């Protein structure tokens, strides 16, 4: 997956992009939306947004709504992986990464659980 823009946005732009993506997910009737702030764990991105769709077509629609809304508001075209007939689509806006998954794929890969584990303090 190649990124179309390597520049980091300002904090206000990151927050604005996050809200645009969340609004697009809501418009497309995405389910079980979770936002994870990963800015303290990696410099690659600030927010990971995870949502579920009810079918491969619904998953694609959610991703396309998010891409369209961001581009209409002046953001660069994001890199994508899995568009088409897929149970998991990734949309990389650089500072915000959107994962749209089927409930089965989401349960199997458990991205939220992986980030929760990495956020726990290490035992001494």
Spell out the domain ranges in the chain: 12-118
pTM score, whole prediction: 0.84
pLDDT tens, 65-124?
999 999 999 999 999 999 987 899 999 999 999 999 999 999 999 998 887 755 555 454
The angle subtended at Cα 85 by Cα 80 and Cα 90, nearest 5°, is: 25
- Strand extents, DSSP E, the chain: 31-37, 47-52, 79-81, 88-92, 96-101
Three-state SS at 88:
strand
User: What DSSP designation does 74 have?
Assistant: T
Pair of tokens at residue 93: 């806006």
Report the CATH number of the 12-118 domain. 3.30.460.10
């Amino acid at each position: 997956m190649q990124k179309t823009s390597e520049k980091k946005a300002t904090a206000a732009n990151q927050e604005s992009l996050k809200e645009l993506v969340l609004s697009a997910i809501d418009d497309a009737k995405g389910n079980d939306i979770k936002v994870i702030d990963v800015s303290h764990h990696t410099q690659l991105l600030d927010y990971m947004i995870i949502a579920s769709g009810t079918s491969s077509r619904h998953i694609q629609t959610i991703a396309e709504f998010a891409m369209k809304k961001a581009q209409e508001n002046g953001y660069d075209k994001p890199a994508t992986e899995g568009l088409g007939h897929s149970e998991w689509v990734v949309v990389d806006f650089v500072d915000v990464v959107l994962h749209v998954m089927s409930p089965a794929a989401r349960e199997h890969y458990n991205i939220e659980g992986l980030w929760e584990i990495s956020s726990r303090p290490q035992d001494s």
